[in-house]
Amino acid sequence: MILIQVTARAPGKVILFGEHAVVHGKPAIAVAVDRLAHVTLTGRTDSIIRAEISRLGVDGYLNLENETINTQGYQIEVGLLKYVLKALKAVDHRTEPGTGLDVTVDIEMPVASGLGSSAAVTVATLAAASKYHQLNLKPKAISSLAHLVELEVQGAASPIDTTLSTYGGVIYLSPDVQEIVRLPIDWDLPLVIGHTRRQGNTGELVESVRLKKESYPSVINPIFESIQEVTEEARNALLEKDENKLGELMNINHGLLDALGVNTPALSRMVYLARQKGALGSKITGAGGGGSIIAYCPEKMDEVISELQKEEQAFPVKLRHEGVTCNVIE
Ligand code: PMV
């Protein structure tokens, strides 16, 4: 029996414009970033599937038949193994029952922080397993299977994260058909991410915005309309590499997210510290309520990072043009 080893890598993402409004039929723009999830599958001679996320101290056994995970660790980190299990199950074409695997996961981004760690892990697992079982699934199949895995594990999910983890690049989610358009952005789009340890709960935040809209439709609907206009303008600013306009639109989008009630004192402090240190623009990214901010500060990356690091975690990212990649060692 030849035991092969397959490693796949898939990028995380940030939402640049349009979060929350996208849930109400408005457009959004999101970008794949150069923080990756690495998933390695190594064949075993027994029937055990053992999974490990060593950086998070998670280690356990997966049972594909009854879909159980036997493990130790913190709940959120262990939760990532659910994506691994569902993804392995989705492409489990074992001819000999009894073929085990060692699965090692390494993640270069904080989890549950709006950076798409679960989608990156799911896409990398699917790509690695597809290669391992010699199915060689095309990106389109990986992307849609990954979206199904996210739906199964989370109950609800937009296809933004899984699309970016699969294809890389920048996407525009159009409002009418919720169709995904890839934007031809050929520059690096350097960003600083500021990340607070407090995690926002996306489902609860989406629900709180929906309730606000129900209570004050004449106030909240125009905010969604404004976010739509910001996103449309930002699409042109990105295509034309108009950096000042991009920054200003980020600031406006942040104000509108604040008005929707998803800001927190820690996020707000990071947003304004970044601007004080020379960011052209800064805003919450993703659901808010905790999680992360992004700052666009191409000339001031170091200054902004060291200022944010005084209170929270901060690191640089840039656009990752490449999507999921795979290599095999026999
Ligand atoms: O924090 P994230 O990356 O899960 O983003 C949530 C974005 C929302 O617009 C708030 C919800 C959604 O499903 O689009």
Give the C-alpha separation, 122 to 51, whole Å. Answer: 14
CA 12 – CA 20 distance, rounded (Å): 19
Q: Are residues 286 and 150 in the same domain?
A: no
Q: How far is the CA of 117 from the centre of ligand 1 (A)?
A: 13
175 and 110 together in one domain: yes
pLDDT reading at 1 higher than 60: no
3-class DSSP state of 284: strand
- 112 close to ligand 1 (CB < 6 Angstrom): no
Q: What is the CATH classification number for the domain harbouring 214? A: 3.30.70.890
Q: Is the CB of 22 under 6 A from ligand 1?
A: yes
For 285-312, what is each residue's pLDDT tens digit?
Answer: 999 999 999 999 999 999 999 999 999 9
CA 41 to chain CA mean position, Å: 22
The verdict on the CB of residue 286 being under 6 Å from ligand 1 is yes
Q: What is the CA(160)–ligand 1 centre distance, in A?
A: 9
pLDDT tier for residue 106 given thresholds of 50, 70 and 90 = very high
Closest C-alpha among 40, 55, 53, 56 to residue 88:
40
For residue 106, CA distances in Å to 40, 43, 111, 213 come to 9, 18, 11, 40
What's the pLDDT score for residue 94? 60
Q: Which of 165, 173, 202 for mutating ligand 1's site (highest number of atoms within 8 Å of CB)?
A: 202
Ligand 1 centroid – CA 226 distance (Å): 18
pLDDT at 126: 98
Question: What phi and psi values does residue 133 have, to the nearest 5 degrees?
Answer: -90, 10
| The overall pTM is greater than 0.85 | yes
CB 81 within 8 A of CB 71: yes
How many domains would you assign to the chain?
2
Whether the CB of 115 sits within 6 Å of ligand 1: no
Q: What is the pLDDT of residue 147?
A: 94
Catalytic residue, chosen from 34, 92, 161, 176, is 161
Same-domain pairing of 127 and 62: yes
Tell whether ligand 1 has an atom less than 6 A from the beta carbon of residue 159.
no
Q: Quick one: 158 and 276 in the same domain?
A: no
Give the nearest ligand 1 atom to 285 CA: 1
Instruction: List the structure tokens of 225.
Output: 């309309």
Q: Is the same domain home to 37 and 175?
A: yes
* Cα(326)–Cα(174) distance, integer angstroms: 30
Look at residue 97 in the predicted model and tell me its pLDDT.
61
Strand partners, 52: 59, 104
Element (H, E) at 217: helix 217-240
Q: Which range scores top for mean pLDDT: 45-59, 177-191, 289-303?
A: 289-303
Measured between its terminal Cα atoms, the distance across the chain in Å is 11
List pLDDT tens digits, range 144-167. Answer: 999 999 999 988 778 899 999 999
Active site (annotated) includes residue 186: no
Atom of ligand 1 nearest to the CA of 160: 14
Q: 188-219 pLDDT, tens per residue? A: 999 999 999 888 888 899 999 999 999 999 99
Residues 57 and 149 in one domain: yes
* Centre of ligand 1 from the C-alpha of residue 192, in Å: 19
Q: How far is the CA of 199 from the centre of ligand 1 (A)?
A: 13
Q: Band of the pLDDT at 77, cuts 50, 70, 90?
A: low
Q: Which of 13, 14, 17, 19 to mutate to test the pocket of ligand 1 (most atoms within 8 A of CB)?
A: 19
Residue pair 131/90 in contact (Cβ under 8 Å)? The answer is no
**324 and 313 in one domain?**
no
Give the CATH number, domain containing residue 44: 3.30.230.10
Q: Is the CB of 202 under 6 A from ligand 1?
A: yes
Distance CA 182, CA 159 (A): 13
Same domain flag for 37 and 134: yes
328, 40 Cβ separation under 8 angstroms: no
Asked if residue 278 and residue 196 are part of one domain, the reply reads yes
Q: Which of 175, 174, 183, 161 is nearest to 285 (CA)?
A: 161
User: What is the Cα–Cα distance from 291 to 264, expressed in whole angstroms?
Assistant: 10
**Type of residue found at 84:** V
Burial class of residue 294 in the structure, from the number of CB atoms within 10 Å of its CB (0-12 exposed, 13-18 middle, 19+ buried)? buried
Ligand 1 centre distance from Cα of residue 42 (Å): 33
Average pLDDT over residues 269-274: 98
Q: Quick one: 309 and 324 in the same domain?
A: no
pLDDT value at residue 148: 96
Residues 6+ apart with CB under 8 A from 229: none
Task: Give the residue, by CA position, lying nearest to ligand 1 atom 11.
Answer: 20
Shared domain for 30 and 148, answered yes or no, is yes
Task: Give the CA radius of gyration of the chain.
Answer: 20
> Which of 318, 312, 311, 313 has its CA nearest to residue 297?
318
Would you place residue 179 in the very low, low, confident or very high pLDDT band (cuts 50, 70, 90)? Answer: confident
Residue 54 vs residue 162, higher pLDDT? 162
If you average pLDDT over every residue of the chain, what do you get? 93
Domain that holds residue 78: 5-183+320-329
Interatomic CA distance for residues 309 and 295, integer angstroms: 13
pLDDT at 98: 60
- 2 confidence band (pLDDT: 50, 70, 90): low
Does residue 144 sit in the same domain as residue 53? yes
SS (H, E, C) 92-137: CCCCCCCCCEEEEEEECCCCCCCCCHHHHHHHHHHHHHHHHCCCCC
